[in-house]
Amino acid sequence: MLTPTRQQVLRHIDLVGQLQPALHQPQHAPFPEAIDHALFRAYMRTAHDVGGEPDVPIQYEEKEEEQWELNTYVTCECLAWRGLWNAEERRRRQNVDLGQTQYLGLPYYGRWLLSAARILVDKQAITLTELINKIDEVKKRYE
């Protein structure tokens, strides 16, 4: 595969940027013949699919997980042990299905937590009302 030129990279970033929820520009769905390869790639890109894209340098550092992060991990593992989801379904829900805004806006285990809540409601293990009531109950404990 050839290395893309600067102009191709900038066009790709511009196309992806037009499709993002936070920067969305209203547009009609194009006819198939109006979709070139670059636009198709932009449409097919998922939030976590950033391999090879330009980005700022990041400093990696060791971090000890906070208690809520450990609790979230254990909760998600228990959901898997109980057969509510498998690792692939969890990854899809916390990486692909969230969309760019939530993917970039939530911390790593925050995405796990949101995905766990969604799977519990989607698979009717609990109702949305039960979830909302439990969240209110926990909030009151910390007020």
Residues 6+ apart with CB under 8 A from 90: 76, 80, 112, 115, 119
Note whether 80 and 87 are within 8 A (CB): yes
Catalytic residue status for 108: yes
SS3 60: coil
CA distances from 41 to 14, 32, 44, 49, 93 (A): 12, 14, 5, 11, 21
Instruction: Exactly one of 60, 108, 109, 142 is catalytic; name it.
Output: 108
Just list the catalytic residues: 108
